[in-house]
Structure 1
Amino acid sequence: MPRLYDSVSSADAGAYADEADDHFHDECGVFGIFGHDDAGALTALGLHALQHRGQEAAGIVSYDGAQFFTERHIGLVGDNFTKPSVIARLHGNRAIGHTRYSTTGGAVLRNVQPLFAEFAGGGFAVAHNGNITNARTMQRALRKRGSIFQSTSDTETLIHLVATSDRSSFIERFIDAIRQLEGAYALVGMTDKKLVGARDPLGVRPLVLGDLDGAYVLTSETCALDIIGARFVRDIEPGEVVVITNDGIESLHPFANTPSSRFCVFEYVYFARPDSIVANKNVYDVRKRIGAELAREAPVPADVVVPVPDSGTPAAIGFAEAAGIPFDLGIIRNHYVGRTFIQPTDSIRHMGVKLKHNANRQILEGKRIVLVDDSIVRGTTSLKIVEMVREAGAAEVHMRIASPPTTDSCFYGVDTPEKSKLIAARMNLEELARYIKVDSLAFLTIDGLYRAAGEPARTNENPQFCDACFTGDYPTRLTDRAENNGDPQLSLLAEVG
């Protein structure tokens, strides 16, 4: 039976609170490659391109025909996977990798993916983007049957379901397992013979197929294909399972009566990298169209359009072009800010936003400013940004948000506050405008967001996206939440993928 040789970093990243961070965080990115002699190094490069999807931890598992090898580390990909000695330990012509943003419980090594288990028929490694909304319920049942969990990750639920399945082949057991899952998942898995990819029946999270000189690649975004010079082949379809072996690739569709796709619309708003192609749409172009829709829906007389960098930049460009108002960089971002490096006293915490952003006074002074950002979650950053712009001498400050108000928590693999901490769930538009101290405030409508993404106006009968964070319309059952009496905090106790 193949053995797992495991090398892990023991550095404790610690927990840090970033009050200036007022954005959602996607949980992770996944990458897998089959049939290339540099599989370990290419996986590290792919994860580097997916670093925006998770900055707390990263891991790679490779296979050389006889043994599995794994490297799991707390911290950034570039801090851990650029050392030749690390890559040299990832032997083999196939590998999978994962980069992760942790939520409840913090970043600890036992939760760093890919997760690995030895089954009776051999080893299995898996990396997951998304969140299984019945994980806690399934885990309780599995524990009663004797399963022992080593992590707090919902992803480990899949491993135990595969291990306890009574089906004969690995793929049959894998399909039996994912049929029992609810929620969102984009998975890459690896055995001694196969690379496997799967998306949930609604296709909430992205997964694409690429080709590099005959080696197949599975990954979250096309930007990870670009960095290694791979060719984009196609999106993995909602509900599809792909199996890659030395004999080629096989596509399976194990879900009967697959419902309409509900891809996460926030991938277009914020999560995906602007240079990625998502569901056949260039993300940068969609974000520019979002800005143009916003300009048409909420025009305002102004002298200059200023993005809140970097996530607000494409929408601000689209807004400026549609409104006929000059675009300029009135806020400069420091790209070299990481974890808090000094004690967060009250006075230092108040200045925290200036670690990341600084006003460009020459652009702002005496001007009527339109600030464009992608979203408002807690409102803390927006308030500090507006105060900073006013201190730089802006005559008026108008805020335009390139998404609808965020009123509901996400249960599909995104780190979100509970609903009571979402400022748009507690305040109406006028109250929120007063809170962040702007002269006017407007959000993109849900129909405007759909139009920018190339879809008709939203209908309750057949929405094209998962937009639950804006509408409260969750496309799947939230079993764990229901069993915890609807308490969102209890339902989010699991570490999501």
Structure 2
Amino acid sequence: MSDLNYKSWNEECAVVGVYNIQDASNIAYYSLFAMQHRGQEASGISTSDNKKLFITKNKGLVTEVFNKEILCNLKGNNAIGHNRYATAGEDSSADAQPVFANYDLGQVAIVHNGNITNAKEIKDELIKEGAIFQSHMDTEVLIHLIAKSKQQTLTDRLKETIPKLKGAFCFIILSRTKMFVIRDRNAFRPLSLGEITNKDGTKGYIVASETCAFDLVGATHIRDVEAGEMLVFDKQKIQSHIIMQEDPYPCVFEYVYFARPDSKVFGRLVYDIRKSMGMELAKENPVDADIVIPVPDSGVAAALGYSKQSGIPFELGIIRNHYVGRTFIEPTQEIRELKVRLKLNPIKEIIKDKKIIVIDDSIVRGTTSKQIVKILRDCGAKEIHMKISSPPTISPCYYGVDTPTKSELISANMSNDEVCKYIGANSLSFLSLEGLKNSIGDGNYKFCQACFDGKYIV
């Protein structure tokens, strides 16, 4: 979802939906916990007991928003949930999801991952017609479109309204008796379908942004939700409707950074892809060194691949404090710099007097890389060769990811040599676009790589 005031860039979030599952709120809770890396600003769950909807949402981590008493009050066998990333500089308490509304067909709750690129245009038109908006979320646009439609069922209203939306979106919508799951025509963001067997032997279903949620709750992965597809869950049955013309361009940055390595995204295990990226990086950019170390955690698999391909030993030369969040999407530069020092601690005995290859997944502003090089220099590293297991990030994302403006992207404004000098490394190299393609090795997909080549799909 995006800030319709356009003061800042967008969020990358997690969504989950469970249907006909006993203790649905608990399953949603643990699924959101498994996907906490996709959103740490706010969390929310809405449930249905087939008569009414219940909802709890607030700012904070999943474990901070929910407790046993709250989960017990979220009644019913159907649930949806959401983890939200912050919009930099915004007070987002009003923008936590699910979004809830009463309308002529009853009650509805919606969770959304992505960014509707024509949301402002639709919103302006709705305001002219008398609509009143309560938040900055583009998700609220869908609520108004649903309420305005004259179709007699929610299924038909969604078939009518969803094709009007452009951009990236994964919607999960809960009514009193049904659950609707919708993925945009380009399938930018990941969304998978799984199955759970209840204690009484009946089947229930789960949909989530990442399959790591399935592993935690004991669900079996069935398949990805297709591009342009709407799934309707009703009375233990699933109906599939293709409501938009399919043109899949999934986000390649899910493989680079966002997804957990133990998730299957777009049909492939993320760990395998990242390891292949490291192997391709070693083929393209060999260098003489003593050890290969990753920037934890998303650089680990690529560093293992680089080590395997090059024959240079792998070492955990930097240890991460897992109680500190990500850095490139923090609201202020001062907090970002402090969190780098809090997050990463080198092992001096491994680093001293060594020629080091440092593997990271990406360079965005360059702040983290510069500080990593500095702390390794302070530990006595002889040489530092920074290797990035993705191409240079030169363009912001408009499809549901919180990235800086183009003016803040260091590789969009400096040459490779200038970036290398800025971060203080002996050398700097990136994986090529061709190497990235070879790493994925899946001819069935065309990927959105606008952040790397500036070519926007929508």
> Are the equivalent residues in 2 in contact too, given 1:73–1:80 (CA < 8 A)?
yes
**Residue 381 of structure 1 aligns with which residue?**
368
**Residue 175 of structure 1 aligns with which residue?**
159
CA distance in 2, matches of 1:468, 1:366: 40
3-state secondary structure, aligned to 2:164: coil
Q: How far off its partner does 1:262 sit?
A: 0.3
Partner residue of 1:240 out of 202, 205, 229: 229
Partner residue of 1:192 out of 164, 176, 182: 176
> Are the equivalent residues in 2 in contact too, given 1:57–1:107 (CA < 8 A)?
no
Partner residue of 1:275 out of 262, 266, 270: 262
> What is the letter of the counterpart of residue 196 of structure 1?
F
Structure 1: segments with no counterpart, 5+ residues = 1-23, 457-461, 477-497
CA distance in 2, matches of 1:348, 1:469: 24
> Are the equivalent residues in 2 in contact too, given 1:25–1:271 (CA < 8 A)?
no
Q: 1:178 to 1:384 in 2, by over 3 A?
A: same
Aligned residues: 442
Q: 1:137 to 1:418 in 2, by over 3 A?
A: same
> Are the equivalent residues in 1 in contact too, given 2:10–2:87 (CA < 8 A)?
no
Q: 1:350 to 1:241 in 2, by over 3 A?
A: closer
Q: How far off its partner does 1:108 sit?
A: 2.4
CA distance in 2, matches of 1:345, 1:179: 37
Q: How far off its partner does 1:102 sit?
A: 1.7
Q: How far off its partner does 1:26 sit?
A: 5.5
* Residue range with higher mean Cα deviation, 287-296 or 71-80: 71-80
> Are the equivalent residues in 1 in contact too, given 2:384–2:427 (CA < 8 A)?
yes
> Are the equivalent residues in 1 in contact too, given 2:10–2:115 (CA < 8 A)?
no
Partner residue of 1:44 out of 3, 10, 29: 29
**Residue 34 of structure 1 aligns with which residue?**
19
Cα-to-partner distance string for 1:450-479 (whole Å, 9 max, x where unaligned)? 1111136xxxxx981010000111101xxx
**Residue 332 of structure 1 aligns with which residue?**
319
Cα-to-partner distance string for 1:55-94 (whole Å, 9 max, x where unaligned)? 010000001122211010111002222x211111101110
Partner residue of 1:222 out of 206, 211, 228: 211
3-state secondary structure, aligned to 2:275: helix
- Mapped pair 1:323 → 2:310: yes
> Are the equivalent residues in 1 in contact too, given 2:173–2:179 (CA < 8 A)?
yes
Superposed counterparts of 1:458-497, under 5 Å = 464-476=446-458
Q: How far off its partner does 1:439 sit?
A: 0.7
Partner residue of 1:152 out of 136, 144, 148: 136
Q: 1:122 to 1:279 in 2, by over 3 A?
A: same
**Residue 5 of structure 2 aligns with which residue?**
none
Q: How far off its partner does 1:270 sit?
A: 0.7
CA distance in 2, matches of 1:469, 1:338: 22
**Residue 102 of structure 1 aligns with which residue?**
86
Partner residue of 2:379 out of 386, 392, 399: 392
**Residue 63 of structure 2 aligns with which residue?**
78
**Residue 68 of structure 1 aligns with which residue?**
53
CA distance in 2, matches of 1:350, 1:142: 42
The alignment's TM-score, normalised by the length of structure 1, stands at 0.86
Cα-to-partner distance string for 1:421-457 (whole Å, 9 max, x where unaligned)? 100000011111111011110000111111111136x
Cα-to-partner distance string for 1:376-397 (whole Å, 9 max, x where unaligned)? 0000010000010011000000
**Residue 120 of structure 1 aligns with which residue?**
104
> Are the equivalent residues in 1 in contact too, given 2:337–2:368 (CA < 8 A)?
no
CA distance in 2, matches of 1:426, 1:408: 10
**Residue 423 of structure 1 aligns with which residue?**
410
**Residue 205 of structure 1 aligns with which residue?**
189
3-state secondary structure, aligned to 1:315: helix
Q: 1:293 to 1:347 in 2, by over 3 A?
A: closer
3-state secondary structure, aligned to 1:189: strand
CA distance in 2, matches of 1:347, 1:197: 40
* Residue range with higher mean Cα deviation, 331-340 or 418-427: 331-340
Q: How far off its partner does 1:336 sit?
A: 2.3
CA distance in 2, matches of 1:84, 1:291: 43
**Residue 302 of structure 1 aligns with which residue?**
289
> Are the equivalent residues in 1 in contact too, given 2:337–2:367 (CA < 8 A)?
no
3-state secondary structure, aligned to 1:412: coil
- Mapped pair 1:250 → 2:235: no
Cα-to-partner distance string for 1:22-63 (whole Å, 9 max, x where unaligned)? xx9962100011112200111001100110100010000001
Cα-to-partner distance string for 1:351-376 (whole Å, 9 max, x where unaligned)? 54221111111111010000000000
Partner residue of 2:118 out of 134, 158, 183: 134
Partner residue of 2:146 out of 162, 180, 188: 162
CA distance in 2, matches of 1:247, 1:382: 50
CA distance in 1, matches of 2:222, 2:333: 51
> What is the letter of the counterpart of residue 399 of structure 2?
Y
Q: 1:311 to 1:166 in 2, by over 3 A?
A: same
> Are the equivalent residues in 2 in contact too, given 1:43–1:97 (CA < 8 A)?
yes
Q: What is the RMSD computed on CA atoms of the aligned residues?
A: 2.0
> Are the equivalent residues in 1 in contact too, given 2:204–2:236 (CA < 8 A)?
no
> Are the equivalent residues in 2 in contact too, given 1:26–1:271 (CA < 8 A)?
no
Partner residue of 1:442 out of 418, 423, 429: 429
3-state secondary structure, aligned to 2:418: helix
- Mapped pair 1:289 → 2:291: no
CA distance in 2, matches of 1:441, 1:90: 51
> Are the equivalent residues in 1 in contact too, given 2:51–2:177 (CA < 8 A)?
no
> Are the equivalent residues in 1 in contact too, given 2:20–2:236 (CA < 8 A)?
no
CA distance in 1, matches of 2:218, 2:358: 37
CA distance in 2, matches of 1:308, 1:376: 11
3-state secondary structure, aligned to 2:109: strand
CA distance in 2, matches of 1:107, 1:38: 32
CA distance in 2, matches of 1:348, 1:228: 35
CA distance in 2, matches of 1:305, 1:278: 27
**Residue 8 of structure 1 aligns with which residue?**
none
Between 1 and 2, higher relative CO (CA 8 Å, sep ≥ 6) is seen in 1
**Residue 364 of structure 1 aligns with which residue?**
351
CA distance in 2, matches of 1:383, 1:103: 25
3-state secondary structure, aligned to 2:44: strand
- Mapped pair 1:143 → 2:127: yes
